[in-house]
Structures are given as C-alpha cells and as structure tokens.
Structure 1
C-alpha cells in the first residue's frame, strides 16, 4: 500500500504513476504508464476502510470492464492493496462536460446534441448488457478536442460514495442536480433513470443550470425532483422536444436509451468528422499490440462434428473451386505479380470470396488484453479459423477466443437471443459449460462464428470473451466487408486444394452398413457437400448413418491425437469414437512449417467415418480413405 502516492510510484510492479490529472472526494485520478502492455492508462486511487465497499467497487469495476463501445471508457484492471484500491482505465485526453461548461459557459444545441447522441448510444450498449450506469452527470462525460464523447465511471462512483455524501442528501445516492425523480424518492437507479440523468446533463449544458433550477442546498434539488418540477428550456432550440421526452417525470413515459439516441440524432446528429472517428474506433479498437509468450501445452481440438444447437443448414457454397483457388496462376506461383490476395471489396458486412477472407483480421489481441496476456494464434484448426489465446501470469493458457467461417447459415430452436446490428443478424447461443458462442449472419448469407472458451482456472467468463470479440467484428463489418488475406498460401499447402476432388463418387459405398440402394445415385455430386472454401467435404447418404467427413486442419503436433498407425506408408493416427459412437477419425500430416508467429505447425488431413458395424471396420475404412486422399493430394500439388 502506498501511504501517499507520488509521481514515479509503481503499482503492482506494472503501472508507473506519471501525474495526477484529477482530484475529488472519491479519489485521485493519475495518468500512468503500463509497462507490460506499453501504453498510457488512467488509474483512479480510492481509499476504502469498509471491506464491503471494496467488494462493491470490485463488482462495479467488473461490470464496467465487460463493456466495449467507442463511446465508453474501457476498464482494464482492478488492484486491491488493502485500504487502497486502484481502477485501471483507458486514458482519454479530454475535458469533462462539466469543465467545458465552466470554461465556456452554455454549449450550443448542436454541440450538446452531438454529445448526447453519443452518450445515449453508450447507454444503449450498457443497458443491453444489463449494466446501469447510475451516475450520468457532466463530470462523467468526457469530450475530446475533436468532439468525441466518452462515458466513464460505470457504477464506480456509486460504489465510492461516502457516508458524508449520503448524509447531506438524506441517504439518496447521486448528484442531486441530475437525479431522476424516482431515485430522489429512494428507488434504485435503473435504465430509465440513466436516460433522465443524461437529459438533465444536456439541459444543464445548453441552459446553464439544472432542470430543477438553482438552489443553495442539495436538499432543495431533491425536493424539486420529488415534486416533478422542471424549468422551461429557453436555449435548447432543436433539442427542446428530445429533452422534454428524456426528462419526463414518469419513467414509463421516457424513451429507452436507443430511442433517446434516435431522438437526439434527428435533432442534432454528430458532425461528419465525429462519425468518422467513431467508425475508426470501431475498426481499430484498442491500440494494436500483440504479446508473445512461451507456448504452453496446446489445448485439445474440438471434434469435427461439434454438438450444438444448429439443426438445419440452408444451402451450400458452390462446389468446384479449382486447384490454387483465387490465387492460382498457371505456373503455380503466388497468384499475380505481388503474390498477395486482392483487397477487400464489396458491401459492408459481406464475407466475400471464401478463400481470400481472413479470419485473423477480424480478431485483435489488444482488444482482449484486459482479460489477460493475449496473443494471436494464426494457424490452428481449420484453415478458415483464427484464435486469440489468453494466458495467466505464469504463461498458462486459460482461455481461447476463436473466429471461423461457415458456408451455410444455421437455424436454431430453443432459447436464443437474436439482434440486428448494421444489417447483420447476431445470434447469442446459451453458454454450454466452458463454451460460449455467437453466430453472425453476413449480408451475403454466410456465417461467422465467434467462440469464447475456458481452458483453465481461473479464467475469464467465456461469454464476456465472445461478446468482446463479437463487438470488434461488428465494428469492422459496419464499415466494409471481411478483410482479405494479405498473402497467398504456400505452393504445397492444402489451402490450394478442393477437398471434394480427393475421393471418388463411390466413397459412401465403402462405409460399413451403407446400402448402395439407399443412395439416389452414388455418382450424383448432390451427395457431396463442400464446406467453406472447399477446405472440407462431407459425403452423405439419403438414409442411414453412413457419412464421411474430410477436413484440412492444422495442429502443433499429432503425437497425442490417437493411436499411431501406418496410413499409406506414412505415420498417421487413429482415434476411434472421438467424434461419437459408431465413428472413427484418422489424421495424417501433410507438411510441417513455421507459421507467421514462428510456431511449428503441422498441416494435416483429418477424416472421420460414421457408420454401423464394428469400430475396427470403421477404422479400417478411415485408414484406406485417408491414404487415398493423400495420394490424390500428391497428384495435384506441385513438388509432391
């Protein structure tokens, strides 16, 4: 514990205090330097003698930390040092709305409307996450020189209110000038009281006084609030009607935050340069920084046939991608004079050409760094997949955030939450143990999956991870399509192969228990379903359990992936029933290379057979089909 914090002091060996930038009854705010992530942060020092207040503050900081929005100041960390508690936040060079009012006097309706529209958007986000701010005041609204507004101190001020403050206002918590009538009457703050407080803050910004007028004692404001008193607006201009709606005495008569944003936006929308900044913040997120730590033991892959709520898929991507895909050139080179993929084109929210869509450019390790030491893992699992791994202080992997693509849109039944964001449909699936998943339907009718997964304990909440990554993806797709890969795959990579070309049309007839008569036509390609980018293929029958799944995948090693066996003269691995009963999975390495992060990576064929009969026969079939697929790859790729 630091008795009197000073410039140069270091908090938990990481945050170096540089200068005090704010003081108040609830603590001191410092500009500091985070030595681990090498960025400026703001840290608020609060001194609490009551352990219950500390727990309250921790809970509020946790709520604030799960919110990700360009108009919300992010909370990165919480440090408990006994009587001193430190909240580590995003550093925003700015002045509060209260300071602007003190320095310049009343604001124009246009400037106040721009600020209000942005803060209403922040409240819409927080309320959608079940978080009530509880202290929306000019002191907690920050405004940059360019007019970008940020809401700070989500619930933190409420947790820090002192007994002295409560005694002045008769036990009512909050700043009396901006309190909603129901809160003044002793009811808990809620979403509609946040909306009222925003309206009161904007009223003060344009009128120069509280909507309750001016008084010498806080209790006078409370009395006026309880009475439903409100001063008339004289300078509000186009904001007069929106403010009247936000300041309605009865909560049920007020708009919610999303409606308040629309009302304010119609009256005085943020100017174009502010809207451009907001778009940039959605795209960039936190400052780009990826930490690399020594790799710990790799987590186990999920089975190819993942049990989920998806029931039906609609349609499939057109089959028949040629060898070398969109990068192809007749000489087998890197696809064009530069060897790079085409830039992203197309409408916002579209996935675009499957083989050049880059899942790694939808993830930003820095945007997840508040959950732990974050590092991008570019080559693991399916070719259309990318991960960010989160590690604890010992370097152990404790969580994984995954983005991957689907050729098909899933439909769901049961309890799922769906919302529309910028033309994309976002489906939030219920948490399933250590896994939490979000599915985004793109504007060109494909699907992006975002998964958060616990790998160890203690670990961040997987749904918070999934939501944070989903927000980043939505911010990117609000302005354009999925970014493109910046380089073509290696000439000998499986990424250049169409999986459906590797096995014959009679594949299913070799699966134990499959009756050829049950197939409409074994040579009909409708019995084959190419996956995303044709990097997987599924052969299936019209009836019965017979099915073959072939997938191109990546791992860091195969030694722990089943029993070692000979597959076509090479060392492979068999995993009976890994994908469920009546199944056998075979894996065979295709090539080994160093990925962009310098990690040893194995590119492999993974084939699973489903059918009836003994496990032994299923594994024999998986072995022979995998060997056949490997020979077909050797015939197609140069240098094989």
Structure 2
C-alpha cells in the first residue's frame, strides 16, 4: 500500500492523495527529475491482459496534445502496481464543484461544455475514444479552464467486480449511453451522449435518467431510453436535448457540439479570451497595464536544441528550486532595494529570479515538439519554441520580467488568481500577449507568436504558458536561478552604473540622474529634459555575433557593429561582443552590449557618440 513519502521509480515523491474511487487512487507527487508537480494514478490491473490494455490506453492518451486534455507524461510499473503520471491540475472536478455549490448556472456549464467538446473533437479526429466522460473526469481550474482526464484509462481498469455491480455494463450508469447499456462498444457518439449527461447533471443537479435507489435502475432506464427533459438548463436545453438523443445517428459529432454549446451560451471565441468558454464564477475587473518595454527585435537563433531526456535533465537542474542566494556583482539586489522572500505571487530579488522556472517545455509539448532556449535575448528572458514536422520553428513563447509597476484603469480585461492579476490583450495578427502583475508590483510578459504554418493559435498557446506560470506563482515566489553566473558574464554587470554624469552630459547631452532602470539593472535609459535625445544601453544574448546590415568596427579591442537608424530614426546603434560561451544545454552563445544614441543630430555625429560611449562602458564591464 503506497504512503506519503514513498518514492516511485526513484523519481516521483508521493505527497498526498487527492482523489480515489473504484478505478484507483490519485496522488499529488513531486517529479524530482523535472522539478514539477504531477498527479499519479495508482491502478491495480487484475491480470496481464488488463495490464496490457491499461498500457495501451495510457499510450493513446499520451499522444493527445490539447489544452483541454490532461497530459499523460509517463507510465511506471512497480511491483504489482501500475502508475500513470499525469499533468497536475490545480482545481476541482466538476463532480466536486456541483457537490460543494449545487447545480451550476447554464453559462458556467456552457463554458465547461464548449471546452470539453473541443477536447473530444480533437481526440476523435485522432481516433481516440474516451469511453467514460463523466463529472469525475472533468477538471476545472480556479480560472475556469476545463480539462478532460482519464482517456480510456477507466475503461481499461474495469474489473469483474465493477461489471458485476452494473450488470456487466462498463461505465458510470448515471451517464451511460443507451447503446452501451445494451452491450455495444463505446464510440465517438457515445462520448457525445456522456458529455451531454455530464453537463445535464451539472446544470440540473441529477442524472438525465432522474434519481434512482440502485445503480441497476439507471442501467434499466438507459436501456429503455428514459431521458427526463431539462428544467433549469435555460438556453442550454436545446443543445442538451441534441447531445442526449437516444439514437446515436441523431446526435451531433463533437465538433458540432462545440458550435451548439457556443451558440447557446455565447462567450469569447477561441483565441480571443483566456478560455474557449466564459469565466467561471468570478467577477472580472479591468486595469491598465503598461505595454512591454521597448524590446528590440533580436534575430531569432538559427540553431536550437530539441528537448530530449538528457537535455531535460540539464534543464531541470538549471531551474531547480534552490535556496535564495544573494545578488550578483555587488550593488543593490532589487530596483526597490527590498525583497519579499517566499511570498506567493512575488518576483522577489530581480537579479536572481529565474524566468525559465515559469515556462515548462514539457507541458507545452501537447501543442507539438518543444524546444528550449534559456540564453537568448535579454537576461531576464526565457523562450520555448515549437518545431513543425519539417524541423522549422513554427511558434515562439517568450517570457520576460519587467520592473515597471502596473497601473490601475484602462481597457485590458483582467482576472485575479491568488496574489497575481492576469491581463489578456487582444490578438494582433500572429502575435498574442499576456501579462501577469505580481504581488510585489512587477510584471511578467508572455508573448506568443506564430512563426510558420501550420501552427497553434498563439493565444491558446499563450494561455497555456500563462496557466503554468500562474501555477508556479501560486505556490510561492519565483524560484531562484540555480547557479551564480560566470565571473565574466554580463549578468553580473549593472547597466546604470557604467557612466558618470560628465560622460553622458558631454557626449550626448543627457543627465545621469534622469534614467529609467530596467529589470535587474541589465538595461538602462537616460534622456534629456525635453525627451528628444537619449541613450539606451542593454545587455543581451544570441547564438552568434553577426549582422547583415551593420558596419564592422573594433571598439575597445572588441568586435562590434555600427547600425545607423536601426532602433529608430535619428539614432545610431552599436553592438559590441562581450564574450562567447556554451550555455547549460551545450549551445554556442554570445553575450553582447547594445548601445543606442538618439537625438536631433546628423547620423555621423550620433554614431561617433555611440562608439565613444560604448568604449567608455567597456572599461567597466566584467572582465571577459
């Protein structure tokens, strides 16, 4: 008998039971290799045939990649037990929601129904039938995202004892399709009926077969096709009646069910809001979020490393939850000078907060092959890319920290989850932006972008990445970076401390006191009183140091490029190579300093100033 504290497969540490039933016990566990929470179902197959069936069903479920399907990560056999390792969903089952709150509103049920119908449409398109859609197998997060779990797994675990209690009929009698009650195997249309029965129970508070004293009575009513008309469903009544048609051929397919349910309870269309359906019992409010800092369009790497078991091990080591370490390179550790150590929903010390702990390549793999790049662009940034069948990058998920505090007001729709506030921007072309305002008044930007076709909807991809980031923040502060940067790394530098007042005033006519310090002091911007002249300096990374348009130069003995009007009109940008190294995944990587001067002067004068300031900054950088 498994107990809390047991370690399964020398990797999964059992923490506490979070569910149980005739099909097994579900544990919350910690995956020590990948440093994440997982759910583990402990099953006891009756014989080798049942074990093979369970393995096959788990394998089928693992092939499904959809935001509304609980991902299957692993299958472990230990002793006489089989363990199915799944995505941990922070929330409640639909059955628990109805038990705790009573019948839900038609709008809430419609939102859940749209999402689960979409999950079934995806699984049916891939030839996978669930076979046991029920309120127990629908999980709903606190912010209204619905996920379907146990694809085929319950069906594979039906034992003789279970079949005896239900007269030889597999499944939960309260949601049993009539044709399955008569002995026919479950198929796509059976899933649609069980979805209708599940939604009926959520909005009506009972099975569509009414209330009975014994399970066999429900089976008998299913065989007779005895369906009670809905009374509380309101706008959902017509859709539920269609889904619950006794004759399978009269039922809609799952994709048609999505349209029926959406028409009955209209909400945001997929990709236009946080979910495919509407919000679940929460009061929305709005606040004005500052747009992302003026990030420059770094060229995308030409070479990435696809996540493999070995690479994941290295990545897990990199993003491990370690004790908070002190700031690097001296100076203050945080823009505010304060740190709220450990408080849920906070970023904490800027220079040690690890952006890669808020992205999970494995959870995003349900959208396709995932690719991790922990060392690209700004030092407060982490990326996960999706790669298509051709091997080309088809989508990018970028996460950045931002020191600027959010400001209340405005038109960006937001919702509150725990100690953080999530903002959802409207999709613009192939790009979608999500914002997380932390409890210590910093911001986290998640920017998803389509890079090729076919590719997932960028807002659905962004919502999945945001859900994971929020789940980490809900447990505590952003985890710390697992190791100190190299002595020569720009991560140890302080951008705002590279110039004194005389240098900036003499060279560019700006004042050192009039500055905007970026997150971690890895970016700094100075301006003059009127704002028509300024200097911007930023530390960043790339996979090589090349420029198709820049003029080659050597500044302070270092390779550099000079790019007039690159970041804006009436400006000149200098990029200077600081060092080359191999990152934690073995990728060739470079660190570079980018310095831009803007103002009402000739391009020649601006570039002369930019080169002079870059040479002055080079003297105060960490020794490469």
Whether TM-score is above 0.5 comes out as yes
**C-alpha offsets along residues 176-205 of structure 1, whole Å, 9 cap, x if unaligned?**
79858xxxxxxxx9xx868326x3359989
What does 1:7-406 align with in structure 2 at a 5 Å threshold?
A: 31-32=55-56, 40-43=58-61, 65-67=66-68, 73-74=70-71, 113=96, 127=111, 131=115, 133=117, 139-141=132-134, 151-152=148-149, 195-196=202-203, 199-201=205-207, 208=214, 215=221, 219-221=225-227, 224-225=228-229, 258-259=280-281, 323-324=329-330, 345-406=341-402
1:345 and 1:395, CA in 2 relative to 1: closer, same or farther beyond 3 A? same
What does 1:401-480 align with in structure 2 at a 5 Å threshold?
A: 401-411=397-407, 416-480=412-476
CA contact (8 A) 1:135 1:175 kept: no
CA RMSD after TM alignment: 5.2
Deviation at 1:567, TM superposition (A): 2.0
Task: Write the distance in 1 (CA, Å) between the matches of 2:203 and 2:179.
Answer: 25
Deviation at 1:475, TM superposition (A): 0.7
**C-alpha offsets along residues 124-174 of structure 1, whole Å, 9 cap, x if unaligned?**
699389636499999313869xxx9973499xxxxxx99999xxxxxx998
Task: Write the distance in 1 (CA, Å) between the matches of 2:98 and 2:429.
Answer: 41
Where 2:559 maps in the other structure, the secondary structure is strand
1:174 and 1:464, CA in 2 relative to 1: closer, same or farther beyond 3 A? closer
CA contact (8 A) 1:143 1:150 kept: no
Name the counterpart of 1:299.
none
**1:488 lines up with 2:484 in the alignment:** yes
Deviation at 1:394, TM superposition (A): 3.0
1:75 and 1:604, CA in 2 relative to 1: closer, same or farther beyond 3 A? same
Aligned pair partner of 1:551 in 531, 535, 538: 538
CA contact (8 A) 1:290 1:366 kept: no
CA contact (8 A) 1:390 1:398 kept: yes
Task: Write the distance in 2 (CA, Å) between the matches of 1:177 and 1:477.
Answer: 35
1:622 and 1:207, CA in 2 relative to 1: closer, same or farther beyond 3 A? farther
Task: Write the distance in 2 (CA, Å) between the matches of 1:410 and 1:113.
Answer: 36
Name the counterpart of 1:617.
605
Higher mean alpha-carbon deviation, 595-604 vs 574-583, is at 574-583
Aligned pair partner of 2:523 in 525, 536, 540: 536
Where 2:397 maps in the other structure, the secondary structure is strand
Task: Write the distance in 1 (CA, Å) between the matches of 2:502 and 2:209.
Answer: 74
CA contact (8 A) 2:177 2:190 kept: no
Deviation at 1:547, TM superposition (A): 1.4
What does 1:561-580 align with in structure 2 at a 5 Å threshold?
A: 562-580=550-568
Where 1:139 maps in the other structure, the secondary structure is coil
Deviation at 1:408, TM superposition (A): 1.1
1:128 and 1:179, CA in 2 relative to 1: closer, same or farther beyond 3 A? closer
CA contact (8 A) 1:326 1:355 kept: no
Task: Write the distance in 2 (CA, Å) between the matches of 1:424 and 1:228.
Answer: 35
CA contact (8 A) 1:510 1:621 kept: no
- Which stretches in structure 1 are left out of the alignment for 5+ residues? 1-20, 22-27, 34-39, 46-60, 77-89, 95-109, 155-160, 166-171, 181-188, 230-250, 261-287, 294-320, 328-342
Deviation at 1:349, TM superposition (A): 0.5
Where 1:354 maps in the other structure, the secondary structure is coil
Task: Write the distance in 2 (CA, Å) between the matches of 1:413 and 1:111.
Answer: 34
Where 2:132 maps in the other structure, the secondary structure is helix
CA contact (8 A) 2:104 2:203 kept: no
1:206 and 1:133, CA in 2 relative to 1: closer, same or farther beyond 3 A? farther
Deviation at 1:371, TM superposition (A): 2.0
Task: Write the distance in 2 (CA, Å) between the matches of 1:580 and 1:129.
Answer: 48
- Which stretches in structure 2 are left out of the alignment for 5+ residues? 1-44, 46-51, 74-82, 88-92, 121-129, 152-175, 181-188, 234-263, 266-277, 283-306, 313-326, 334-338
Deviation at 1:42, TM superposition (A): 2.6
CA contact (8 A) 2:67 2:366 kept: no
Where 2:486 maps in the other structure, the secondary structure is coil
Deviation at 1:505, TM superposition (A): 1.7
**C-alpha offsets along residues 14-73 of structure 1, whole Å, 9 cap, x if unaligned?**
xxxxxxx9xxxxxx997449xxxxxx533599xxxxxxxxxxxxxxx8xx8233xxxx53
1:543 and 1:126, CA in 2 relative to 1: closer, same or farther beyond 3 A? farther
Where 2:375 maps in the other structure, the secondary structure is coil
Where 1:258 maps in the other structure, the secondary structure is coil
Deviation at 1:323, TM superposition (A): 3.3
TM-score by length of 2: 0.57
